Amino acid sequence: MSIIDDWYNSYTSGIFFREHTFYFDEDTRVEDIEAILGKAVDGFKDAIEISRTFIVSGLEIEFSWYHDNEGTALTYMIIQHDNGFYHSSCS
């Protein structure tokens, strides 16, 4: 096992939020995440990737999807402590 594997193991359980447990897989859509977490504070869509960043309870949560003509696939989610960068950009 490489050092990167030790640092970044995949999480396979649900996430408890607002008294519900949510499970995500590659079929989870952008709209599904927005319905759970609300409006994103940042994001983009380019030729191959869709990205959305949310601030929830002091955590920065970023989701990324691969997309092409056949649809989208959730590829990763990162949860980290919010560094405060997005606080001033929220309306």
Determine, yes or no, domain membership for 5. Answer: no
Give the 3-state secondary structure of the chain.
CCHHHHHCCCCCCCEEECCEEECCCCCCCHHHHHHHHCCCCEEEECCCEEEEEEEECCEEEEEEEEEECCEEEEEEEEEEECCCCCHHHCC
Determine, yes or no, domain membership for 2. Answer: no
pTM of the model: 0.76
Determine, yes or no, domain membership for 70. Answer: yes
**Of residues 49, 14, 56, the one with CA closest to residue 34:** 56
Determine, yes or no, domain membership for 86. Answer: yes
- At 17, the pLDDT band (50, 70, 90 cuts) reads confident
Q: What are phi and psi of 46, to 5 degrees?
A: -120, -160
Determine, yes or no, domain membership for 77. Answer: yes
Q: Which domain holds residue 61?
A: 43-91
Q: How many domains does the chain have?
A: 1
Determine, yes or no, domain membership for 18. Answer: no
pLDDT at 59: 85
